[in-house]
Structure 1
Amino acid sequence: MTQKVTAPEVKATPIVRRPIAIIGTGYVADFYMKSIALYPEVEIVGAFDLDADRLKTFCDYWSVKSFASATELLADLPPQGVVLNLTNPKAHYEVTHSCLSAGRHVYSEKPLAMNMNQAHALVELATARGLHMGAAPCSYLSQSAQTLWAAVREEIAGKVRLAYAEIDDGYIRQAPYQHWKSETGAPWPAEDEFQVGCTMEHAGYYLTWLIQMFGPVRTVVAASAQLTGDAPAAHDLSIGTLFHASGVVSRLTCSIIAPHNHELRIVGDNGVLELDECWDNLAKVRFRKRTRIRRRLLELPIARRLRLANKTTHPVPAKGGAATMNFFLGPDQMLSDISEGNDPSPTMQMALHVNEVTLALQNAGEHSGAVAMQTTCAPTLPQPWAHPLRGIM
Structure 2
Amino acid sequence: MKTVGIGLIGCGNISDTYLKGIAEFDILDLRGIGDLNADLAVAKAQDCGVRARSLEDIYADPDIEIIVNLTIPKAHAAVATQSLMAGKHAYSEKPLAVSFAQGKALVETAAQRGLRIGAAPDTFFGGAHQAARAIVDAGTLGPLVGGTAFFMCPGHERWHPNPDFYYQKGGGPLLDMAPYYITDLVNLCGPVARVTGVATLPRTERLITSAPRKGERIAVEVATHISALLEFANGAVITLTTSFDVAGHKHSPLEVYGTEATLLVPDPNGFGGAVQLIEKGGEFRDVAIDLPYSDGNYRAIGVADMAYAIRNDRPHRASGDLALHVLEVMEAIMESSERGAAVTLTTTTARPEALAGDLVNMKLAK
Q: Work out whether 1:305 is the aligned partner of 2:283.
A: no
Determine if contact 1:20/1:77 at 8 Å carries over to the other structure: no
Deviation for aligned residue 1:198? 1.4
Q: Does residue 1:66 correspond to 2:52, yes or no?
A: yes
Deviation larger for 54-63 or 253-262: 253-262
The one-letter code of the counterpart of 2:186 is I
Q: Distance in 2 between matches of 1:232 and 1:304?
A: 42
Letter in 2 for 1:64: V
Relative to structure 1, is the Cα distance of residues 47 and 360 closer, same or farther in structure 2, using a 3 angstrom cutoff? same
Deviations 1:261-290 (A, max 9, x none): 561111122231112422231111111233
The alpha-carbon distance between structure 1 residues 78 and 368, as it changes in their structure 2 partners (threshold 3 A), is farther
Give the counterpart letter for 1:254 in structure 2. Answer: T
Kept after mapping to 2: 8 A contact 1:208/1:354: yes
1: CA distance, partners of 2:350 / 2:17: 29
Is 1:272 aligned to residue 262 of structure 2? yes
Please give the TM-score of this superposition, normalised by the length of structure 2: 0.87
Aligned CA distance change for structure 1 residues 312 and 207 (closer, same or farther; 3 Å): closer
What is the rounded CA distance, in whole Å, between the counterparts of 1:275 and 1:246 in structure 2? 19
Instruction: Give the letter for the 1:263 counterpart.
Output: P
Alignment partner of 1:148 is 2:132: yes
Amino acid at match of 1:75: A
Q: Does 1:214 align with 2:214?
A: no
1:245 lines up with 2:233 in the alignment: yes
**Where does structure 1 lack aligned partners over 5 or more consecutive residues?**
1-14, 181-186, 292-298, 318-324, 387-393
Q: Match for 1:172 among 155, 158, 179?
A: 155
Instruction: Within 5 Å, give how 1:1-393 maps onto structure 2.
Output: 16-68=2-54, 70-78=55-63, 81-168=65-152, 170-172=153-155, 176-177=158-159, 180=160, 187=161, 189-195=162-168, 196-230=171-205, 232-258=220-246, 259=248, 263-291=253-281, 300=283, 303-308=284-289, 311-314=290-293, 316-317=295-296, 325-343=297-315, 347-365=319-337, 367-385=339-357
The answer as to whether partners of 2:196 and 2:337 remain within 8 angstroms in 1 is: no
Q: What is the deviation of 1:355?
A: 0.9
* C-alpha contact (below 8 Å) 1:110/1:136 kept by paired residues: yes
* Offset of residue 209 of structure 1: 1.3
Q: SS in structure 1 opposite 2:329?
A: helix
> Shift of residue 133 of structure 1?
0.2
Identity %: 28
Query: How big is the shift at 1:305?
Result: 1.4
Structure 2 unaligned spans of 5+: 206-218, 359-366
Change in Cα spacing, 1:305 to 1:253, as seen in structure 2 (3 Å) is same
Quick one: which amino acid aligns to residue 113 of structure 1? A
Q: Distance in 1 between matches of 2:62 and 2:280?
A: 55
Q: What is the Cα deviation at residue 97 of structure 1? A: 0.4
Structure 1 range deviating more: 141-150 or 354-363: 354-363
Q: Give, in angstroms, the shift of residue 138 of structure 1.
A: 0.9
Counterparts of 1:60 and 1:277, CA distance in 2 = 33
- Given residue 225 of structure 1, which amino acid in structure 2 is its aligned partner? T
Larger Rg: 1
Does structure 1 retain, via aligned residues, the 8 Å contact 2:184–2:268?
A: no
**Number of aligned residue pairs:** 341
Q: Is the partner of 2:277 in helix, strand or coil?
A: strand
Q: 1:346 to 1:144 in 2, by over 3 A?
A: closer
